Structure 1
C-alpha cells in the first residue's frame, strides 16, 4: 500500500505543473487608461493567450509590450488590430501620419487602434507596431476588480471600477 504522503506529494506536484503550464500559456492583464472604452474600462482584467500570437486576425484585441521609449515602459498596452502585414493601412491612420492613402502595412508590423480614439495613443500617433512585441490575444474579459473606497463620511465601501 502506498503511504498517504506519497499521494499528497503526487497531488502537489500535479498542481504545481498545472500552475506552471497556466502561467506560461496565459497572462492576466489589468486595463489601465480609457483607450479601449466602452468595452474595456480601467480596472477591468483580461485573460491573454500567449500562444495565439501566430494566429492574429483583424479585429482581435491584443496585448503588446510597450517599447522603452514609451511613457510607461514595461506596462503592456491593450489595442485592437486594425491591419496586418500586407493589408491596406486604414485611411484615418494615413491621414494622421500623412502617408499616401493606398499605403500597405510592411512585413513584421501591424496597425493597432484604441476603441476610444479621444483617449488612445495608437497607430494614429505612433505609426506601425512590431509584431515581435505582441504578447498575446485577449481571449476573455474578466469581471472588474473590486476596490475599497471611502465615502465622504470616511466609511469604507466596496465598489467596482465601473463607478468611477
Structure 2
C-alpha cells in the first residue's frame, strides 16, 4: 500500500510538471497549410523566445488591435494564439519581404528580443504584414500534431 501511495505521488508530480511545460493548441485558419490545417491540434512545449531556432514552428499570443502586449503571457485558454514558422532570429538579416513592414533596411539585423515569423501557406498575416514579433510573446514550439481535422 505504501508503494502505491508513493507511485501515485510521483505520477501526480510528473503530471504537474508536464502541465506546466506542455500545452495543447488548436490551429485555426489556413496560414500554415499544408503543414497544419485548421482544426489540427498540436502539442506545444513552452520555450522562452530567446531559446528558439530558425525553422521551428512557434505558437505566440496575438496582438489585439495590432498592439503587442507586454508583461506575462495570458493563460493558455485565455488568449488568441497564432502559429507560424521562425524565419529569422536576432542578428539575422531582415528578409527582403519583411523589411518594409519592419521599417528596416533590407539585410539589416533583426533586433535583440525580436523574431521574424512567416506562415507556410500563401494566405498568412505574419511579419510581412506587421513586422517583428516580440520574442516574449512566444508560448512555445510545436512538438507534434496530435490530431487532424
- Shorter-chain TM band: 0.7 to 0.9
CA separation in 1, counterparts of 2:116 and 2:50? 16
CA distances 1:118-155 after superposition (whole Å, capped 9, x unpaired): 2x1111111101011111111212221xxxxxxxxxxx
- Larger mean CA deviation between 99-108 and 47-56 belongs to 47-56
Do the aligned residues in 2 keep the contact of 1:53 with 1:137 (CA within 8 Å)? no
Question: In the alignment, which residue of structure 2 is the partner of 1:49?
Answer: 45
Q: How does 1:105-144 map to 2 (within 5 A)?
A: 105-118=110-123, 120-144=124-148
- Larger mean CA deviation between 104-113 and 45-54 belongs to 45-54
Q: Name the larger-Rg structure.
A: 1
Question: In the alignment, which residue of structure 2 is the partner of 1:91?
Answer: 96
- Aligned-residue Cα RMSD (Å) equals 2.2
TM-score for both structures, normalised by structure 1: 0.75
Note the C-alpha offset of 1:95.
4.5
Question: In the alignment, which residue of structure 1 is the partner of 2:59?
Answer: 63
Unaligned runs of 5+ in 2: 68-77
Unaligned runs of 5+ in 1: 145-160
Question: In the alignment, which residue of structure 2 is the partner of 1:153?
Answer: none
CA separation in 1, counterparts of 2:93 and 2:47? 26
TM-score for both structures, normalised by structure 2: 0.82
Equivalent of residue 18 in structure 1, options 14, 18, 43: 14
Matched, 1:40 2:28: no
CA separation in 1, counterparts of 2:25 and 2:60? 11
Do the aligned residues in 2 keep the contact of 1:46 with 1:142 (CA within 8 Å)? yes
Do the aligned residues in 2 keep the contact of 1:45 with 1:141 (CA within 8 Å)? yes
